[in-house]
């Protein structure tokens, strides 16, 4: 935030992928929007987007909403739903993750650039592959779940490098990604196998893909 000059007070829209604590903590939102920490501009609505379980969780925050802040607006997202604002087009699709958390991932487009933010998800579910097939586009950047690192097993709710490569191959076959697409592994867990940057690097290098690192900046 400091390095890129981003003013968090100017953020008006937050897209939440699912209701797990590492992606959505209404306690943190409530506290960090409090006057001790932030100075939100009055009058400009703050928008949250997410599935029903996400909005139910956020509802508790809205109930405790204080007059000093602008009432947050909760926008329900579901598989295949697209919202448009300020030149952005954001579509949510079904993720394969704990179903009770309402898992979605996002395809975010502005102008000629498209980002796929695929967290948390295992190998995409069939309805999402069908959506991608019937709504073709070119992705410039894909951030993909690699919680399990180089674990050969399939956890069913996250991915490892093996499954990432299967996703990459299928997306390439469909024309959604090509050599110009940055394919970046993300969301590593200390429970994964060979998950440290030096351990993953040789596998990634051989496949022309990247891992997310602190302070790494991608131009796309
Ligand atoms: Zn999760
Ligand atoms: Zn997570």
Q: In sequence order, what DSSP letters do the residues of the chain get, joined into one string?
A: -TTTT--GGG--EEE---S-TTT--HHHHHHHTSTTT--PPTTS--EEEE-HHHHHHHHHHHHT--TTSPPPEEEE--TT-EEEETTEEEEEEE-SS-GGG--EEEEEEETTEEEEEE-S-SSPPHHHHHHHHHS----SEEEEE-TTBT--S--SSS--HHHHHHHHHHHHHTTS--TTSEEEEE---TTSBS-SHHHHHHHHHHHT-EE--TT-----
Please compute the mean of the pLDDT values over residues 175-194 and round it to a whole number. 93
13 alpha carbon – ligand 1 mean position (Å): 21
Tell me how far apart the alpha carbons of residues 209 and 202 are, in angstroms, rounded to a whole number: 10
CA geometry: angle at 100 spanning 97 and 102, to 5°? Answer: 70
Q: How many CA atoms lie within 13 A of 61 on its CB side?
A: 25
Model confidence pLDDT, tens digit, residues 44-69: 778 999 999 999 999 887 777 666 56
Does one domain contain both 105 and 139? Answer: yes
**Residue 218: pLDDT over 90:** no
187 alpha carbon – ligand 2 mean position (Å): 7
pLDDT at 66: 63
Tell me how far apart the alpha carbons of residues 80 and 99 are, in angstroms, rounded to a whole number: 16
**Residue 76: pLDDT over 70:** yes
Ligand nearest to the CA of 145: 2
Number of domains in the chain: 2
| 62 within some domain | yes
Does one domain contain both 91 and 139? Answer: yes
Does one domain contain both 127 and 160? Answer: yes
Does one domain contain both 23 and 1? Answer: yes
Does one domain contain both 72 and 112? Answer: no
Does one domain contain both 100 and 153? Answer: yes
| 12 within some domain | yes
Domain final residue, candidates 44, 76, 108: 76
Q: What is the CATH number of the domain that holds 87?
A: 3.60.15.10
What is the extent of the structural domain holding 21?
1-76
Average pLDDT, the chain: 91
CA geometry: angle at 147 spanning 124 and 173, to 5°? Answer: 35
97 alpha carbon – ligand 1 mean position (Å): 7
Please compute the mean of the pLDDT values over residues 63-89 and round it to a whole number. 86
Report the percentage of the chain scoring pLDDT > 70.
Answer: 95
| 114 within some domain | yes
42 alpha carbon – ligand 2 mean position (Å): 32
Domain final residue, candidates 76, 108, 130: 76
Does one domain contain both 83 and 72? Answer: no
pLDDT at 43: 67
118 alpha carbon – ligand 1 mean position (Å): 11
Does one domain contain both 106 and 199? Answer: yes
Please compute the mean of the pLDDT values over residues 119-137 and round it to a whole number. 97
pLDDT-derived band at 101, boundaries 50, 70, 90: very high
Does one domain contain both 6 and 110? Answer: no
Does one domain contain both 123 and 17? Answer: no
pLDDT at 42: 67
| 218 within some domain | no
213 alpha carbon – ligand 1 mean position (Å): 20
**Residue 38: pLDDT over 90:** no
54 alpha carbon – ligand 1 mean position (Å): 12
Domain final residue, candidates 47, 76, 105: 76
pLDDT at 44: 72
- Highest mean pLDDT among 6-20, 45-59, 100-114 belongs to 100-114
Around ion ligand 1, residues with a beta carbon closer than 5 Å are 20, 120
pLDDT at 40: 67
**Residue 169: pLDDT over 80:** yes
**Residue 163: pLDDT over 80:** yes
Q: Count Cβ atoms within 10 A of the Cβ of residue 76 and give its class: 0-12 exposed, 13-18 middle, 19 or more buried.
A: middle
Does one domain contain both 56 and 109? Answer: no
43 alpha carbon – ligand 1 mean position (Å): 33
| 42 within some domain | yes
Does one domain contain both 131 and 174? Answer: yes
pLDDT-derived band at 210, boundaries 50, 70, 90: very high
117 alpha carbon – ligand 2 mean position (Å): 12
């Amino acid at each position: 935030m400091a390095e890129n000059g981003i003013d968090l007070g100017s953020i008006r829209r937050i897209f939440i992928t699912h209701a797990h604590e590492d992606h959505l903590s209404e306690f943190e939102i409530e506290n960090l929007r409090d006057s001790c920490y932030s100075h939100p501009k009055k009058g400009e609505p703050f928008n949250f987007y997410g599935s029903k379980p996400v909005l139910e969780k956020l509802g508790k925050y809205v109930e405790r909403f204080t007059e000093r802040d602008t009432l947050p607006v909760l926008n329900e997202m579901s598989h295949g739903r697209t919202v448009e604002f300020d030149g952005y087009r954001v579509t949510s699709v079904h993720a394969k993750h704990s179903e009770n958390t309402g898992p979605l991932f996002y395809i975010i487009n502005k102008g000629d650039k498209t980002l796929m933010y695929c967290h948390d998800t295992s190998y995409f579910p069939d309805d999402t592959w069908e959506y991608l097939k019937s709504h073709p586009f070119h992705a410039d950047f894909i951030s993909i779940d690699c919680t399990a690192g180089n674990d050969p097993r399939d956890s069913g709710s996250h991915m490892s490098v093996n499954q990432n490569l299967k996703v990459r191959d299928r997306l390439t076959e469909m024309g959604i990604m090509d050599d110009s697409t940055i394919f970046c592994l993300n969301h590593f867990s200390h429970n994964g196998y060979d998950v440290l940057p030096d351990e993953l690097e040789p596998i990634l290098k051989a496949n022309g893909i990247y891992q997310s690192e602190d302070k790494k900046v991608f131009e796309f």
